[in-house]
Structures are given as C-alpha cells and as structure tokens.
Amino acid sequence: MRYLTAALYKFVDLPEHATWREPLRTLCGSQGVKGTLLLAREGINGTIAGPEAGVRAVLAWLRSDARLADLQHKESWADTPPFHRLKVRLKREIVTLGVPGLDPTRTVGTYVKPADWNALIEQPDVLLIDTRNDYEVKIGTFEGAVNPGIRSFTELPAWLAQQPALQGPNKPRVAMFCTGGIRCEKSTALLKMQGFEEVYHLEGGILKYLEEVPPGSSRWRGECFVFDERVSVGHGLAPGASELCRSCRWPLTEEDRQSPLFEQGVSCPHCHDQRDAAARERLAERQRQVLLARERGAQHIGSTAPQAAQSQTVSRSGSATP
C-alpha cells in the first residue's frame, strides 16, 4: 500500500471554522487519514496522508464549500505512513506571525512561478530571504539566500526591522520563499504593509520548485525539511537522507549522526547538553521499546518527545506546510 500526502492551505474568511472540527475529525477517521489540519477565522492549513481514496475524499469535502472550491494542494507518495496521529486544531492564525491587522487576502507579494524563479533571484538588485526557521535552512536553501537565523516564524518581523538594507526611503526589491508558500503569504504581506512596492514570493514554495525544476537547472542546494516522517525531500520530491533526532526532533545530517554525542533515540549534538542522566535513561528505555516493537513487526509511536524544533512550528510554515 502506498500513502498519498497532501499539503494544503488557503487564506479565506471562515467565521464558522470551529464547527468544522468534528466533521473533519469524523471524516478523516473513517477514511484512515492522519496528519494535522489547522482551522482559523483566516482560513485552513495542514498536511494529511493516508490511502489515496481517503485523502481525496477529505479534499472533496473541503472543496464542497464554495469558498474552498479552488483550494490547491501539493501531493507526494510514501511507502510508509507519514503520520501516526490525526490532529484537527482551532487556532487564531493558520500560520502564526502575530502582527495585528495583517490580512494576506487583501495584499500580498507578487507570485513567481517556479519556472521563472531563477531569472528573478539571479538579478543582483534582488534581496533573497529564506523565511523558514534556522534548523530548516541548515539542511537546504537557495544559493545566495539570506538566513535570518530565527527559531520560529514569529521572530521574523523583529529580524526584518533590524536589517539596514530594509530601512530607509529607498526600498529594495525583495524575494521570499518558504516550504509550501504559506509563510510567504504573510511575510510578503507584512512588507507590502510597510511600504515595499516590489516584493515577490515563490508560488507553491520550495516543494513546487523541487517538483517542477530539473536538478540541472536548479539553484536549490541541499534538501527541504518537511513536517512529517519523511523528514526531508529532494528534487522530484524524492525522500531525502535526513533523519530526525527522536529526542529533540531536530533534522540530522550524516555528520550529525557520526558525532559521539549522537545516540539513536536518546540525544544528538543539538540536544545532548540539555538532557540530564535521568532524561537520557528514560529516552534510552523508550528506544529499547521501539526496537522491541520493530522486532515484533509492530509500530511503536512512543511517548511524546520533549519540546523541540519541529513542534515549535506546528503552524507550518510547511507546509502544514508546509
């Protein structure tokens, strides 16, 4: 059995969004669909996965509402379940930026299709900004992109306000990108609200670029972090080589896994110093249970991991989306 993953979002006025929660939970449950869906007054965001018929049934249910009739989604396939649970959550924002009065349905940057993205970012007067979190950027980004070094999307406005190149009366041309496009909807809307005239963002995000642009023409370097059990993807949305630390859920490179501070399921170079002996023993026991379950051919989800890099951005930036 193969599993279809669908990443979706749309900014649209949904005053009755709270009433959607239970019908969506019931429908997803009956169709074997898991993942995360976020509902807010400003719209819907999420990534779901399951049997193809089940995922398409959920998408059809959403599109049966006239306001979501044109809901776009990005899809990929996996041989193992990308998610182990279903979460349908009510939020104030479907991607949290925390800027009062910001409305991407009214003003947003200019969309640039993947096929035209290279031509834009190769221009020397364009400032290219990666709006994702630092742990995402470190495993892959566009050549020449600026990394704000933020831990969560809510830190981006403060970072933008501190950049000399973005201050003053002569506003530069700015291009922004993120995993699936949703964070750029808000970040470009923010710059437009602040008086920037030429603001662009990658339509469909990194995932659409990797899907459509061949490796030989690509300006992408590395892998793209995704918020499910695939961890990362490359060109053609093929699964990448990154793994998650099961202790802190930081994406690990091969270099990270070769570190003496890495112990499968217990610690990695990013969290080793944050775990005392008692915590490491608990995590080691959990890892032993995971291995025993695997030997029996069962799936062991395990207890909830400590707060970590991935959980800090549950609002997707990717793409529940991403």
The residues carrying an active-site annotation are: 178
Cβ atoms within 10 Å, residue 16: 9
Q: Where are the alpha helices (DSSP H) in 67-181?
A: 114-121, 134-137, 156-161
Burial 141-150 (b: 16+ CB within 10 A, else e): bbeebbebeb
Token couple for 157: 């406005």
- CA 125, CA 317: separation in Å to the nearest integer? 27
- CA 300, CA 312: separation in Å to the nearest integer? 23
Q: What is the CB-side half-sphere exposure of residue 171 using CA atoms within 13 A?
A: 14
Cα-based distances in Å from 178 to 18, 97, 174, 206, 253: 27, 14, 14, 6, 20
